[in-house]
Amino acid sequence: MRWPGRRLLAAACVGGALAAPTGWLVTDRLEQDDDFCNACHLEPGLPLHLEIRRGFDARPPASLAGRHAAAGNRAREDAGFRCIDCHGGVSLAGRLRVKALAAKDAFWYGVGRFDEPSAMRWPLWDEDCTRCHARFDEERPRSWETPRFHQLAVHNVELGMACVECHEAHETGGAADVFFLRPACVRLQCARCHTEFEEGAL
């Protein structure tokens, strides 16, 4: 490589090294606002994020995400609950995953070729949920009570499936008194271990 080419490559590397942390910090600030997150996603005819935002803001809540929004976020002083509180990533790997997807989407949006997704491409990891919900239903049942699902140790932390496989955050239609779980979805997960829940078994 000739000297001018090396200088150009070095300048590009230095520019990238300076731009990456700046971009990280700027997007950290911008994504604190739900309206920023939805700004690219609310064009007419693109229903995914429009429906998600309506469900998130609905009162009374119609989804698990809406219930979180209505309850507020006790981890923050202003008590507001934002999209990024669940979708921001917890560990460094989680944050990098979110930033990489955001950079990809921003690039395609900027060149006019962004396609609104019809489903979440990268579902939440358990760590996104367990940052607030470390263990579940620790209260032991009384001797005459039928234990609830997470009161059984085998159904608690080491269950072997992701939280979002049962707890669909943005789906509507579930019952509010059971955290908006939808029976059809839950039965599919139960059938992974319990053959009596397989389709057609009951």
Given a cut of 70, the residues of the chain with pLDDT beneath it are: 1-19, 40-48, 73-79, 135-138, 157, 200-202
The pLDDT of residue 54 is 83
- Domain-located, residue 18: no
Burial class (CB in 10 A: 0-12, 13-18, 19+), 4: exposed
CB atoms within 10 A of CB 49: 20
Q: pLDDT tens digits, residue range 10-52?
A: 666 666 656 677 777 888 888 888 888 777 665 555 556 777 8
pTM over 0.85: no
- Domain-located, residue 21: no
- Domain-located, residue 6: no
Q: How many domains does the chain have?
A: 1
- Domain-located, residue 4: no
- Domain-located, residue 22: no
The pLDDT of residue 103 is 84
- Domain-located, residue 177: yes
The pLDDT of residue 143 is 75
- Domain-located, residue 25: no
Helical spans, DSSP H, in 81-182: 83-87, 92-110, 126-130
Both tokens of 134, joined, read 């470390």
Domain span including residue 61: 31-197
